[in-house]
Amino acid sequence: MRHLNRVAKFNKTKSHRKALFQNLANALFQHERITTTVPKAMELRRVADRLITLAKRKDLHSQRLAFEALRDKEVVKKLFTDICDRYSAINGGYTRVLKIGNRKGDNAPMAMIELTQRKEEEKKKKETSKEKKTTKETKKKADVKKETKVGKETKEKKEPKVKKETKTKEETKTKKEPKVKKEAKAETTEAAEPKEKKPRKKKEETKEEAAE
């Protein structure tokens, strides 16, 4: 009896079918998301889930069995070191099939198969946390800049008053200085007048003496 031994033939020989799913599994583990037809995606899910459960053992025999199925050392290394650690607390449900629609050329039903726990999602979470931190830091810096600008503006507003006071003092000094100069000129004129009168008196005396 052949219970639970269903195999989708895909109109291919056994060797061709084995090579097909080998390539699809390598692409899935390498890129963590691929698009293919719905029947191939549903069959690939069975192959990928079995390989992930095999990788969770982490022994040499399971590595050899995985290499026999995949025939790619780099993919096997990633499967046993990175992918299996993501599903250490999960038993099953390692892959997800999402139907996209029909293909334009032959109207074949297409689907996207991906790993449920991908590295890109972890990166996005880290990036969102970093963006939140950067936004908080930028807000703090903006608040500090605003406070400094307000302080500078208040200082600049206060400084012109001092300049005006100094200007008024200088203007008062300049205004007072001409008065002092006028007083000095008056003193010089008063001092010079008596000198001019003395020679006149001498001339008058000489004229009277000549007349006598």
Q: Looking at the domain assignment, is residue 182 inside a domain?
A: no
Higher pLDDT, 124 or 69: 69
Q: Looking at the domain assignment, is residue 177 inside a domain?
A: no
Give the model confidence (pLDDT) of 84-131 as tens digits. 999 999 999 999 999 999 999 999 999 999 999 988 766 676 777 777
Going from the C-alpha of 10 to that of each of 95, 182, 197, 205, the distances in angstroms are 21, 121, 143, 156
Split into its structural domains, the chain has a count of: 1
User: What is the rounded average pLDDT for all residues in the chain?
Assistant: 81
Range of the domain at 51: 14-117
Q: Looking at the domain assignment, is residue 202 inside a domain?
A: no
For 83-92, letters b (16+ CB in 10 Å) and e give bbebbeeeee
Helix or strand run (H / E) with residue 198: helix 119-211
Higher pLDDT, 160 or 22: 22
| 137-150 mean pLDDT | 78
Q: What is the CATH number of the domain that holds 104?
A: 3.90.1030.10
Q: Looking at the domain assignment, is residue 83 inside a domain?
A: yes
Q: Looking at the domain assignment, is residue 44 inside a domain?
A: yes
Q: Looking at the domain assignment, is residue 210 inside a domain?
A: no
Higher pLDDT, 143 or 200: 143
pTM over 0.95: no
Give the model confidence (pLDDT) of 155-211 as tens digits. 666 655 555 555 566 665 555 555 545 555 555 555 555 555 555 555 556 666 666
